[in-house]
Structure 1
Amino acid sequence: MVSSAAASYALALADVAKANNTLDATTADIEKIEEIFSDPGVFDFFNNPTVDTEKKQSVIEEIATSSSLQPHTRNFLYILVDAKRIDLINEITKEYEFVYNTLTDTEMAVVSSVVKLESQHLAQIAKQVQKLTGAKNVRIKTVIDPSLVAGFTIRYGNSGSKLIDMSVKKQLEEIAAQLDLGDITLTCVRTRDSCT
């Protein structure tokens, strides 16, 4: 469950981005931030109360410069550090994505595959998801998942509630289920007079 504070921060950032006509660029910034803060070392550094605010701001400046973040995204991170709410960053990035998708009538589809898919395959997947959902736009997020063996899965809909599974793992699970002795049905072999 996303906290109301995280939702408020995400909405405020989206409002600033919309006012500056930089919704898409801000979304790209948020994806970079999400990746940076997914590193437990980075997250722990910013959540450590013994590290002073100036040091945290100096690291934010480095992150903003190296990731080419927009000024308002950098300022947003400063605000979170000053307000001691940087601990909400992961919730805020998820909530911002939801706000962006709502504002732009965008469907988010998460495509998991064993290897990186070619861009033309991702474009076909996006077209298919658009057809299924009627959304104006489709954004694809890719995830590498070696457990799938081969093929891919697509999660979309409200909180990833819908799944299209085109993985070999699923096919193997279905074959295993069919081979389960409890599910075997004997077929009838016809002879001239009866079934034997």
Structure 2
Amino acid sequence: MKSNSVSQAVVAPYAEALMSLAQEQNSLDAIAKDIRLIGNTLADSAELKQLFASPLIGANVKKGVVESVFSSQVHSVTKSFLLLLVDRKRIAFLNEIVSEFKTLLRVIDQVALAEVTSALKLSRAQEDTICDRVKAMTKAKSVELDVTINPDLIGGVIIKVGSQVVDASIRGQLRRLKSSLTTGV
């Protein structure tokens, strides 16, 4: 837990600084696109995450990797930001900074993040229905779904938006039924 708070104390100021700079430069859309690209690249490459996290690899090597991987694909502000993270020995927190930036972007754009756990892959119509219900719940302009498949649910979905959880899974219904039967005895 302490590690998480230390990490957040490092992550939040950098994400907020990048957000402020993006807004000042009127390049929020371009930098948001860059951040999504960086997040996807990190998600697809465990090696890149390990390289950035390793204290044994020098700053010059990390800067070279930033240049070769991102230089031609990202806005100059984003590239400068990545190089600054290397200089300040904060590049190991890049994945967390990306996540925090996306959170700040959702607040600005009034987008609700719904973490959906489903027993099966959802159809487009089911995703649209969930989006509509989350919009009604949160009064957000739009909804971003983060869908995870978990066959242990048997059927149905669990939707988490912020601190609110809606358990419409068969496993949850069985658990509630069991609880009501055992407390009623």
TM-score between the two structures when normalised by the length of structure 1:
0.73
- Check if 1:51 corresponds to 2:57: yes
Identify unmatched segments of 5+ residues in structure 2.
Answer: none
Alignment of 1:78-157 (within 5 A): 78-156=83-161
Identify unmatched segments of 5+ residues in structure 1.
Answer: 186-196
2:54 and 2:92 in contact (8 A); partners too:
no
Partner residue in 1 for 2:167: 165
- Residue-pair matches, total: 179
Aligned CA RMSD, in angstroms, stands at: 2.8
2:121 partner SS = coil
The structural deviation recorded for 1:22 is: 4.3
TM-score between the two structures when normalised by the length of structure 2:
0.77
Structure 1 vs Structure 2: percent identity of aligned residues? 31
The structural deviation recorded for 1:85 is: 0.6
1:3 partner SS = helix
The structural deviation recorded for 1:117 is: 2.2
Change (3 A) 1:57 1:146: farther
Partner residue in 1 for 2:183: 183
2:32 to 27, 36, 54: 27
Larger C-alpha radius of gyration, 1 or 2?
Answer: 1
**Letter of the 1:44 counterpart:** Q
CA deviations on 1:79-133 (whole Å, 9 max, x unpaired) are: 2112111122233223212321222222221222234323332222222111111
Q: Distance in 1 between matches of 2:33 and 2:121?
A: 20
Q: Distance in 1 between matches of 2:127 and 2:168?
A: 14
